[in-house]
Structure 1
Amino acid sequence: MRPGPRRSLTHAEILDAAFGLLEAKGFEAVSVRGVAGVLGLTPTAMYTYYPNKGALLAGMVEQVLGRLDTRGADAAAAASSNAGDAAGPGASAARARTRIVTLAEGLRSILVERPGAVGLLLATPLDGPNARRLDERLLGAFTDAGLDPVQAGRATHAVRVHVLGAVAFDAAEVERAAGAPVPADIEAAPAASATLWDDAETFPLGDRSRELADDPAARFAWGLERLLDGLLAHPASARS
């Protein structure tokens, strides 16, 4: 077989360019040809790295999740255990909870830096080594806390949904506050209050909540703790 073109870029450089395209132009703009154009390569040269868009997106997901320190979550759980004298099922649940919180907060921190990656995680099969490593840690933590395999799978899904949803909503709020420009070919929609709802009742609780300007990190942590309160409460009685 004849050797293919010599590779002159690293995978990390290509994926960084792909993320730059993602953040600048959105999910639909990310393609093998699009990234090749950013890097000044021919599509043929790019195909020696990533044969199709699916492979490129999978590489981006793996790069994101590869930054998550899953071992650090285990260390945090061990440290919390050493700090207390409790033993038995309660101690196991406490260690598991610390591990889950550390993983979820770590994933949120990574995605806050690259909110466009939320779309990647929703649109791409999470079957790479780094994605499976994260799932394995979460599943193991919930199992250690007393959940059966079905419950652990559901709980892992719920934590992922909480992380991705929180990051997506927070990013949208930041974009709205920054006054993101509307493309020239799209007419901005008027606010609902300027059209249909002028005569509607007021919403004092909602208005007051908006005025509080809640901290996104604190809001995320509170929601995660309340979610875990439910997921880890009496797991044996929750089987269905």
Structure 2
Amino acid sequence: MAQQPEAGRRAPLNRERVLRAAIALADDSGIESLSMRGLAQELGVVPMALYKHVPNKEQLLDGMADTVVARIELPPGGCDWKELVREHVLSARRVLLRHRWASRVIESRTGPTPAVLEYLDSVIGAFRDGGFSVDLTHHAMHALGSRLLGFSQELFDDSGSTGPSGGAEALAAMAARYPRLAELAAGATHDTASSVGRSCDDQFEFEFALDILLDGLERLHQRGWTSTGAGA
């Protein structure tokens, strides 16, 4: 009789298992704490065993970014281009909110990974199938920037004490030197729990900017805008 496998035997090590474990560690402890040694310990193997599947830390990060982006649910076609692009972006954002470290890893890559390319190709298809020219699509992708992948690059990180949380004295000192900035800081509200890496990037602000961009692109499309000036 063939011997039955031992109960609780670990699944064989492969690239997918390594990446899943790395993503879980980054979700729990942050990307800064992720190391090949720590990952090996989590998987119950020696560090050298990892290198067969991810030759170095950079390729590990590439694979993690690719795995996260591959989890973005692409909306079905057949609806208006504007709604389709919006759903692409908000679907990406939902994934990035579950993996808050991923935006920094995506930004740090020297080139797009295969899953990012597939996702961007789908967004481009939404514009092109909606009647956008190649020219306007090109500029639309630039205008949307990192927002295409569910996060935005803020002007500065306002998570410090420059706003009302710095106290009345700090706000008064700011108001004396930078009155308009202090006015804005005093009147702004932020939901830090919904941010992707920065306290100012809450869901409302993200969708507000996204809708402004999409509305502007719609007007340019209707005017037959081109970068050479025709239709301007």
Same fold, TM-score > 0.5, yes or no: yes
CA contact (8 A) 2:61 2:105 kept: yes
Q: Give 1:106 deviation, angstroms.
A: 0.2
Q: Which whole-Å deviations, capped at 9, do the CAs of 1:207-236 have from their partners, x for residues lacking one?
A: 1222899x8333322221111111232233
CA contact (8 A) 1:57 1:120 kept: yes
* Number of the residue aligned with 2:5: none
Matching residue's letter, 1:221:
E
Distance 2:172 2:29 in 1: 31
Matching residue's letter, 1:17:
A
Where 2:120 maps in the other structure, the secondary structure is helix
Quick one: structure 1 residues 47 and 166, their matched pair in 2 at CA, closer, same or farther if it must change by over 3 Å?
A: closer
Distance 2:90 2:191 in 1: 23
* Mapping of residues 109-128 of structure 1, within 5 Å: 109-124=94-109, 125-128=111-114
* Number of the residue aligned with 2:170: 193
CA contact (8 A) 2:40 2:50 kept: yes
Distance 1:56 1:65 in 2: 14
CA contact (8 A) 2:22 2:34 kept: yes
* Number of the residue aligned with 1:207: 186
Q: Which whole-Å deviations, capped at 9, do the CAs of 1:85-144 have from their partners, x for residues lacking one?
A: xxxxxxxxxx1111101110000000011110001111122231x222211111112223
Please tell me whether residue 221 in structure 1 is matched to residue 207 in structure 2: yes
Measured on the aligned residues, the alpha-carbon RMSD in Å equals 3.6
Q: Which whole-Å deviations, capped at 9, do the CAs of 1:51-101 have from their partners, x for residues lacking one?
A: 12222112111211111122xx124xx2x4xxxxxxxxxxxxxx1111101
Where 2:72 maps in the other structure, the secondary structure is coil
Unaligned runs of 5+ in 1: 1-6, 81-94, 177-189
Quick one: structure 1 residues 136 and 166, their matched pair in 2 at CA, closer, same or farther if it must change by over 3 Å?
A: closer
Matching residue's letter, 2:204:
A
Matching residue's letter, 2:73:
D
* Number of the residue aligned with 1:239: 227
Distance 2:113 2:190 in 1: 42
Please tell me whether residue 131 in structure 1 is matched to residue 116 in structure 2: yes
Quick one: structure 1 residues 156 and 167, their matched pair in 2 at CA, closer, same or farther if it must change by over 3 Å?
A: closer
CA contact (8 A) 2:65 2:105 kept: yes
Larger RCO, structure (CA 8 Å, separation 6 or more): 1
Deviates most, 104-113 or 200-209: 200-209
Distance 1:194 1:208 in 2: 12
* Mapping of residues 74-113 of structure 1, within 5 Å: 74-75=76-77, 78=78, 80=79, 95-113=80-98
TM-score (norm 2): 0.69
Matching residue's letter, 1:206:
A
Quick one: structure 1 residues 9 and 209, their matched pair in 2 at CA, closer, same or farther if it must change by over 3 Å?
A: same
Q: Give 1:199 deviation, angstroms.
A: 4.1
* Number of the residue aligned with 2:144: 159
TM-score (norm 1): 0.67
CA contact (8 A) 1:32 1:50 kept: no
Matching residue's letter, 1:142:
F
CA contact (8 A) 1:104 1:163 kept: yes
Matching residue's letter, 1:232:
E
